[in-house]
Amino acid sequence: MKLDFKILTGVLAIIVIGCDRQPPKDMQSLGSVEPVHLSDTNFHIEVIESQVPVLVDMWAPWCHPCIAMKPTIRDVTEDLNGTAKVGELNIEENPFIKEKYNIDKYPMLLIFVDGKEVQRLVGMKTHDELVEAVVTSTVRHNAGVN
């Protein structure tokens, strides 16, 4: 009975007092880099005005291949961190961008360099295919090759 009381007291103390550590202000210090959540509102700033190449994942919540690609998109985000930006745009919630870029197949991945769409990929892609596409598109664009 005394042991149960001590355990209960310890658990209660943890619940009431809580953790004494604050999460780091810089979440990247944890090694967790997430894609940028894009919308009709922030697309121009995050993509068109970006100083680095941007891979945009156009996805829909009802699209099974789109959902299946989420872990790959997150891995690519981590690997390209500092070199390129990765963003995700839910086309169901952002009809303006969907219409402007004629998004009619999913998943659709667009690569932007210097604010211009330089490549469009349709369907499921591997991590290596996405990284190679971003690197190749950037090199070709910077060399003036279409």
User: Which residues are designated catalytic?
Assistant: 63, 66
- Confirm if 88 and 57 have CB atoms less than 8 A apart: yes
108, exposed or middle or buried, with CB in 10 Å at 0-12, 13-18, 19+? buried
Q: Which helix (H) or strand (E) holds 114?
A: none
Q: How many angstroms separate the CA atoms of 56 and 87, rounded?
A: 5
- The residue behind tokens 């619940």 is 15
β-pairing verdict for 54-59 and 108-113 = antiparallel
